[in-house]
Chain A
Amino acid sequence: MAEEIAAPRQILPPPAERYTWLGWIQKNLFSTWYNSLLTFITLGLAYALLKPFLTWLLEQANWEVVEVNFRLLMVGQYPPDEIWRIWLLLYLLAAVVGLSWGVWVRGRLALALGLLLAPLLLALLPIATPSARLNLVAMDLVAVAASRMGRLGGPSLRRFAAWSWVIYLVLVILVVRGFALTPEVMPRVPTNLWGGLLLTCLLTVVGIVFSFPLGILLALGRRSSLPAIRAVSVVYIEVIRGVPLVTILFMAAVMVPFFLPSGITIDRVLRAMVGITLFSAAYLAENVRGGLQAVPHGQFEAASALGLSGFKTMTRIILPQALRIVIPVLMGQFIALFKDTTLVVTIGLLELLGIARAVLAQPQYVSYQREVYLFVAAIFWVISYLMSYISQRLESVLGVGER
């Protein structure tokens, strides 16, 4: 008996749970006769439902409408002579993304390959022109080179990589708009020519970049101990949240000019950007407030006991934890903002969906609704999914729920 106890305990391996995929099919789809029956019924139903769609997609769909209007859908009426600017920005984007990847993400070969394959797949699309193909491949090379650089530099490049994003965002506006150094070099492109996916992306990016800090300030304001600041924040949040975005956009488009002295006009696109930012900030404020409330009170106490000032406590202790908690909600809000940009069509701006409808309004394309809308939907889905994916990665990198 005593010997038995003294003997070293055998550590058992966990039971193996590996199947071949045939085994998986058998276990999950055909384990009993009624499960087999259900499997066949489901397959039959799926086939019946998808067949018309698939036949249309593979045999009848005519993508010529997208091909012909591709530039319009991407950049609206942006002057063809200036489209190189958009390419330039895409190249820079590839460089910044590549650099950030090399500095922060590293490893994850499969993911990196996926990211690299995306432009190549785009290049393979039948609607791409030869020069676009060349550009996409070259962009991939830029991204690889940048990530290589980021990898070599490692953590020492972190600050640089973060700043490169800030500089990039400023450059985007400058380059798209043009700064008219001389009439020939980088002439102004008036905003009524901006359109398509370009406008959608600009509205989204500007909306996110400005509504995020504003939302944080409002959330802090709502928790402030100063009654005036608290009142202003509460009123702002509740008023904006009680009004549909369309109303705010209309106000920005129709009402604002009334209040300005004659002769002064504010650009329409700028007004839409401000409207979207103000709208989104109210929602973000409430999301961030939720995160602030989730941080235990002991964190404030520990920070105070150490002698940290209120500002340092907020920026070093509370906000990093609060924002991490609300990453999924924030990203949800950003995705909603991205899709809400379609509403600017009501004030006469032609973003992606607006352009699509303008294209379909032409008599020769009336019968191509399915192709055009499917194309637009696919673009929205890809970008939304990308945002959602970034959010997941961010969560796992920051260890949400683990520490």
Chain B
Amino acid sequence: MEETLEPNNLTPQSSSRDDQPIIVCRDVHKWYGNFQALQGVSMEVNKGEVIVIFGPSGSGKSTFIRTLNRLEEHQRGQIIVDGIELTHDVRNIEQVRMETGMVFQQFNLFPHLTVLQNITLAPLHVRKWPKDKAEEVATQLLVRVGIPEQADKYPGQLSGGQQQRVAIARALAMQPKIMLFDEPTSALDPEMIKEVLDVMIELAHTGMTMLVVTHEMGFARGVANRMFFFDQGQIVESGTPQQIFSNPQEDRTRLFLSQILTH
């Protein structure tokens, strides 16, 4: 499979799952004041793919994933999610946000609402589901992430791992087509990382399209279809986990991998 991507010159993906890529980014640029966070990022993601994005801090990987649901605005280039282009049009943005779920490093659960209310809030107010349906879906999701008994507790009463699993359930409750994970395990104690990764692995096996910013290389090796190495706002290298781990082409990739894999 030919995986290297040139900016503005995208080779069509020979995907076996679906012919239309669900996410298309072309030459995306983003500045914070004078600092350029993204310098021409191009990427195509097919339905059902699990993408792992990694790289040193400040490399633009979080910024990139946040441009995909417009938490950050890109200033040049094109982002098309599920056939909808992200522009200043608020309706487009709302549409894309309904189709993408996001999980944050700091969980960002709503502390004044119970676990169940956290999960049902968006289905009730955005999807306009009746309460019964929203609660039924929420309960099923809590079973799926393994904490059905915590439904009536408040986020502050849960451990970090449990909170992050609630956050995943909250994102899934909107029945998104794409899930974005922004360093989902970086704020967790080591013994809680596994319980969150297990949920994510299970999700990957169901065929969810996932973009995951993470340094959990075990997760990448296990379920990722492709990996992208970011540095200084650019994609330095991409490929299957096997290519990246056993035969990285770029010196920077090799150096970074040696730093995070051997300590």
> A314 → chain B, closest Cβ, in Å?
12
Residues from 155 to 184 in B contacting A, C-beta threshold 8 Å: 155-157, 170-171, 174
> B173 → chain A, closest Cβ, in Å?
9
Query: CB within 8 A of A312: which of B111, B125, B170?
Result: B125
Known: A299-B110, A320-B112, A403-B111. A305 touches B71 (CB 8 A): yes
> A125 → chain B, closest Cβ, in Å?
43
Assess whether A298 is in contact with B98, with CB atoms less than 8 Å apart.
no
Q: Does B154 contact A (CB under 8 A)?
A: yes
Q: Does A133 contact B (CB under 8 A)?
A: no
> A297 → chain B, closest Cβ, in Å?
9
Known: A302-B104, A306-B97, A316-B121. A403 touches B112 (CB 8 A): yes
Assess whether B157 is in contact with A307, with CB atoms less than 8 Å apart.
no
Query: CB within 8 A of B174: which of A303, A304, A306, A317?
Result: A306
Known: A316-B121, A321-B112. A306 touches B170 (CB 8 A): yes
Q: Does B106 contact A (CB under 8 A)?
A: yes
Residues from 319 to 356 in A contacting B, C-beta threshold 8 Å: 320-321, 324
Q: Does A4 contact B (CB under 8 A)?
A: no
CA distance A307 to B115 in the complex (A): 18
Query: CB within 8 A of B108: which of A299, A307, A316, A320?
Result: A299
Assess whether B121 is in contact with A302, with CB atoms less than 8 Å apart.
no
Known: A301-B71, A301-B108, A321-B111. A306 touches B122 (CB 8 A): yes
Contacts of A298 in B (CB 8 A): 104, 106, 108
Q: Does A184 contact B (CB under 8 A)?
A: no
Closest to A315 in B: B125
Assess whether A308 is in contact with B125, with CB atoms less than 8 Å apart.
yes
Contacts of B174 in A (CB 8 A): 306-307
Contacts of B170 in A (CB 8 A): 306
CA distance A302 to B164 in the complex (A): 13
Q: Does B109 contact A (CB under 8 A)?
A: yes
Query: CB within 8 A of A305: which of B101, B106, B112, B154?
Result: B101
Known: A316-B125, A402-B156, A403-B154. A305 touches B110 (CB 8 A): no
Contacts of A302 in B (CB 8 A): 102, 104, 108-110
Main SS at interface, chain A: helix
Contacts of B102 in A (CB 8 A): 302, 305
Assess whether B112 is in contact with A307, with CB atoms less than 8 Å apart.
no
**Count of interface residues, chain A, beta-carbon cutoff 8 Å:** 21
CA distance A299 to B170 in the complex (A): 13
Query: Considering residues B97, B125, B155, which has the most beta carbons from chain A within 10 angstroms of its beta carbon?
Result: B125
Q: Does B42 contact A (CB under 8 A)?
A: no
Closest to A298 in B: B108
Contacts of A307 in B (CB 8 A): 94, 97-98, 122, 126, 174
Known: A306-B121, A308-B122, A312-B125. A324 touches B112 (CB 8 A): yes
Closest to B100 in A: A305
Assess whether B104 is in contact with A301, with CB atoms less than 8 Å apart.
yes
Contacts of A316 in B (CB 8 A): 121, 125
Q: Does B69 contact A (CB under 8 A)?
A: yes
Assess whether B125 is in contact with A305, with CB atoms less than 8 Å apart.
no
Assess whether B69 is in contact with A305, with CB atoms less than 8 Å apart.
yes
Closest to A320 in B: B112
CA distance A301 to B155 in the complex (A): 17
CA distance A302 to B107 in the complex (A): 9
Closest to A313 in B: B125
> A94 → chain B, closest Cβ, in Å?
32
Residues from 125 to 151 in A contacting B, C-beta threshold 8 Å: none
Residues from 77 to 114 in B contacting A, C-beta threshold 8 Å: 94, 97-98, 100-102, 104, 106, 108-112
> B89 → chain A, closest Cβ, in Å?
15
Task: State the B residues within 8 Å of A (CB).
Answer: 69, 71, 94, 97-98, 100-102, 104, 106, 108-112, 121-122, 125-126, 154-157, 170-171, 174
- 9 additional contacts, CB 8 Å, given A301-B104, A307-B174, A324-B112? A298-B106, A301-B71, A303-B110, A304-B71, A306-B121, A307-B122, A312-B126, A316-B121, A403-B157
Residue pairs across A and B with Cβ atoms less than 8 A apart, 15 shown, are A296-B106, A301-B71, A302-B104, A305-B104, A305-B171, A306-B97, A306-B101, A306-B121, A306-B126, A307-B98, A307-B122, A309-B94, A309-B126, A321-B110, A399-B154
What 3 A-B pairs are tightest by C-beta distance, nearest first? A302-B108, A403-B156, A306-B122
